[in-house]
């Protein structure tokens, strides 16, 4: 049943993906080949905001790498 919104009834899907070819969020049952998908995400909104999530992860990883590479430098 659709309650008047413009969704297809998939809003409650357990997993969402960002489809790089179609440039939109898709529920798990509509996902394509793995090399065209980012995810899984818990919600459609999280999938739509994939770029922010990726940037935050990359920033965290870079900071962790810098910390790892400089570990022990203070012992001199």
The answer, yes or no, to whether the previous bond of 8 is cis (omega within 30 of 0) is: no
Please report whether residue 7 resides in a domain.
no
Please report whether residue 76 resides in a domain.
no
Instruction: Return the pLDDT at 21.
Output: 96
The pLDDT mean for the chain works out to: 84
Give pTM, 2 decimals.
Answer: 0.64
CA angle (13 as vertex; 11, 17 as ends), nearest 5: 95
Please report whether residue 30 resides in a domain.
yes
Number of domains in the chain: 1
The parent domain of residue 49 ranges over: 16-68
Please report whether residue 55 resides in a domain.
yes
């Amino acid at each position: 049943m659709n309650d008047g919104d413009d969704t297809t009834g998939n809003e409650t899907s357990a997993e969402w993906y960002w489809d790089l070819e179609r440039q939109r969020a898709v529920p798990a049952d509509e996902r394509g080949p793995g090399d065209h998908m980012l995810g899984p995400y818990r919600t459609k909104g999280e999938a739509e905001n994939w770029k922010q999530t990726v940037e935050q992860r990359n920033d965290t990883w870079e900071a962790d790498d810098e910390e790892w590479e400089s570990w022990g430098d203070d012992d001199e």
